[in-house]
Structure 1
Amino acid sequence: MRAWHAQNAAPPAPVGGHSAAGRSPWPPPPPRRRSPEPRSPCSGTGSVGFLVSAICGQATGTGHLTYTDGTTQDYTLTAPDWLAATPPSGTSVAVSSAYRNGPDNTRQNVTSRIFSMAVPLASGKTLSSVTLPSASTLPLTCATPALHVFAADVSNHVVSLRAHANGKYMTAPNGGASPLIAGTTSIGPPEEFDLIDN
């Protein structure tokens, strides 16, 4: 994991119990027990962003999102191999390292990457939890493509706008019945706007 120091002032936070220093394998090996699939509490609206990578080739897995009304939505993550130079459509490079540590702490001059991707949530629904995909076949071997999910977070697509002219936030007073004005110094519901992607 010390390879992260090649481009970052500090290594990323430990993931899955692996230390961010020393001889920890990178990426961390997939857990040996793949079932039941991990389920994480997560709430919000908008989209779920994932930080992912794969080893031994591209890996794909399907998980599901559970909403507060009890309904579910399947989603699929396809992660490139961590050594892939070009991310597939809908994916971008989130983190890269100039080298990696090999066996016996030897330096290997290959670029390793973690990729980001987003899954849109159903309109008008609030997310309750995320069930991660299981994208490996058992038994796991060095030649088995395996998906690694490092992080997930919900983007609510809610933004606030601050005017350059006076440094104040744009507000929609009286429930939006009055004209917009840049007139407040703090953010509350009248200063929050939905960011809509068309």
Structure 2
Amino acid sequence: MQTNVYLVRHAHSTYTADELGRPLSEKGMAASENVRQLFARKKIDVVLSSPYKRAIQTVECVAAGIGKEVIIKEGFKERRLSEKPMEDFQAAIAKVWEDPTFFWEGGESNVAAQKRGVQALLNVLEEYEGKNIVIGTHGNIMVLLMNFFDRNYDFLFWKSLEMPDIYKLMFQSKNLINVERIWNGPEE
């Protein structure tokens, strides 16, 4: 029985230090309408999300379209890079990808974040086997999930992602059988 997981990287957000409450920007809200339209043409059974507002806002219109609430799953929240904002975000993120066990003070290593995210995904695959599942999430944790099944999804792949970006992962039981990029970014 095939299970389809649509990983949805959140749309553009307005930066604030409040990771949990950071909302989508005006541009991000417009893109979430495009996400809604895309999924309106698909049979979706359940919508899950990271607890972060920007991830929820990106997929809540999909849940509304199927008459359901977004189910919050902590395991899909973004990886915590460090306790304090990093001066050079790009260099800091490159470092954790170069050494999967390295972590900045108060942050998560790739190994730790991947373990958390994969456990959440495996639980979802078990609970919703045979269903079409939308998951609102974040760039880094999304790529770490994909990287668990295929090492080609790496730092360079992460750098190529758009906001939002959507990948369909097809599973037979808990085995990944195919990945397809189904939409990236707002239509120009």
Greater relative contact order structure (CA < 8 Å, 6+ sep): 2
Q: Give the TM bin, normalised by the shorter chain.
A: under 0.3
Q: TM-score by structure 1 length?
A: 0.27
Larger of the two Rg values belongs to structure: 1
**Greater share of residues in helix:** 2
**Greater share of residues in strand:** 1
